[in-house]
Amino acid sequence: MAKEYSFDISAKIDMQNFKNAINMVDKEVANRYDFKGTTYEVSYKEKEKLLVLIASSDNKLDALKDIVVAKFLKQGLSSKVLEELRVEDSSGNNRKMTFKIVDYIESKEAKKITAEIKKMKLKVNAQIEGDSIRVKGAKLDDLQKVIKEIREREWEAPLVFENMR
């Protein structure tokens, strides 16, 4: 029997890198001249999977968001990890921006990904298993082509390719 290879496509987040990025944001903002003497806060609510940014104005809020995205990219995380939910007034004349942490692939998108893999006409099999997609095939080259093609397309979830066996 020929050996079968496989890998998983998921949207898991390396939580250690995520928390490191949040800590780096705090350190950078504390040392930035444009934030001196202003109110700001970056808080991660683990149970609700929310990231909340609070700043004294919309301009400061946008700058804070840019810093967060830059630190995520530096830690190897996609900016698609954050989905903006709302921007609202907060206490003390501040502005508050709330993000949902995206660490899953929605079922609609998972179906689109499997359909794209089938369109490639390679000898691979893709099936949805919970919150990830398992791709199996007899040739490693075919699996690598699938990874390359899926990476090149634009998806809503921050895709991670793992468990290559």
Specify the CATH number for the domain of residue 126.
3.30.70.860
Nearest CA-CA partner of 82 in 67, 99, 96, 68: 99
- Single out the residue in 61, 78, 101 at which a domain terminates: 101
Strand order in the sheet with 160-162: 124-129, 132-137, 5-10, 160-162
Q: Are 54 and 108 found together in one domain?
A: no
- Single out the residue in 101, 119, 137 at which a domain terminates: 101
User: Average of pLDDT values for 42-64?
Assistant: 88
Residue 161 pLDDT > 50, yes or no? yes
Check residue 114 and give its pLDDT.
87
d(CA 89, CA 95): 5
Q: Taking the alpha carbons of 64, 69, 74, 75 in that order, is the dihedral positive or negative?
A: positive
Mean residue pLDDT of the chain comes to 85
Q: Are 96 and 109 found together in one domain?
A: no
Residue 38 pLDDT > 70, yes or no? yes
Q: Are 147 and 108 found together in one domain?
A: yes
Q: Are 130 and 63 found together in one domain?
A: no
Q: Are 40 and 92 found together in one domain?
A: yes
Torsion of CA 152, 17, 45, 88, to 10 degrees: -50
**Segments forming the whole domain that contains residue 118:** 5-12+104-162
How many Cβ atoms are within 10 Å of 157's Cβ, its own excluded? 21
- 70 pLDDT tier (thresholds 50, 70, 90): very high
Continuous segment of H or E residues that includes residue 50: strand 50-55
User: Average of pLDDT values for 145-158?
Assistant: 83
- Give the 3-state secondary structure of residue 87: strand
Residue 29 pLDDT > 50, yes or no? yes
pTM, two decimals, is 0.78
Residue 1 pLDDT > 50, yes or no? no
